[in-house]
């Protein structure tokens, strides 16, 4: 089974095509991109193909007969990972890259909260615990249901 996920960087637009044959899935993705082009031309919107990521989710080591679709005449190249709604999706769905980003981010958030309290001054322990739960723990557990 091959799942193709296409995501645009800032506008949070995504397309998903699922199928057994990579050639069929890439054809579906090209049809969807052609539909996006027509819709954008009608409304007067533009999409930057350079900021568009294409990820193929499959258990196979390499995908044979998959052609890269075109968006506004530019070929959309395959990438190993794409960021969508703050979650980094990798082609193998290992979540390693997403977890590494969160692990790097959590201590910075904790130290940013640390500036608000001290041993003999600042916020009460109850408020500090509330800061930890609302800021640090919610950042760590964001999208944990998915991964």
Q: What are the distances in angstroms from CA 101 to CA 21, 75, 80, 88?
A: 33, 29, 16, 9
The whole-number pLDDT of residue 1 equals: 42
Average pLDDT over residues 89-116: 83
Same domain, 113 and 57: no
Average pLDDT over residues 86-108: 86
pLDDT averaged over every residue in the chain: 80
DSSP labels, 25-60? HHHHHHHHHHHHHHHHHHHT----GGGEEEEEE-SS
The answer to the question of residue 11 being in a domain is: yes
Domain region containing 30: 2-90
Query: CA–CA separation, 40 vs 17, rounded Å?
Result: 20
Same domain, 76 and 14: yes
Q: Please classify residue 38 by burial: count the beta carbons closer than 10 Å to its beta carbon, then call 0-12 exposed, 13-18 middle and 19+ buried.
A: exposed
DSSP class of residue 117 equals B
Q: If we measure between CA atoms, which residue out of 36, 85, 34, 29 comes closest to residue 57?
A: 29
More confident residue, 50 or 119: 50
Query: CA–CA separation, 126 vs 17, rounded Å?
Result: 48
Query: CA–CA separation, 20 vs 3, rounded Å?
Result: 9
Same domain, 27 and 61: yes
More confident residue, 87 or 4: 87
Q: Among residues 90, 106, 125, which one ends one of the domains?
A: 90
């Amino acid at each position: 089974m091959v799942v193709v996920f296409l995501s645009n960087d800032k506008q949070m637009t995504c397309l998903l095509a699922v199928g057994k044959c990579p050639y069929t899935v890439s054809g579906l993705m090209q049809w969807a991109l052609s539909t996006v082009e027509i819709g954008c031309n009608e409304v007067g919107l533009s999409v930057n193909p350079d900021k568009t990521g294409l990820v193929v989710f499959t258990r196979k080591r390499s995908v044979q007969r998959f052609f890269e679709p075109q968006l506004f005449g530019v070929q959309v190249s395959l990438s190993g990972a794409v960021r969508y709604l703050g979650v980094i999706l990798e082609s193998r769905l290992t979540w390693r890259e997403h977890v590494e980003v969160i692990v790097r981010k959590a201590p910075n958030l904790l130290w940013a909260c640390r500036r608000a309290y001290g041993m003999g001054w600042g916020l009460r322990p109850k408020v500090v615990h509330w800061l930890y739960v609302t800021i640090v723990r919610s950042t760590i557990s964001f999208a944990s249901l998915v991964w």
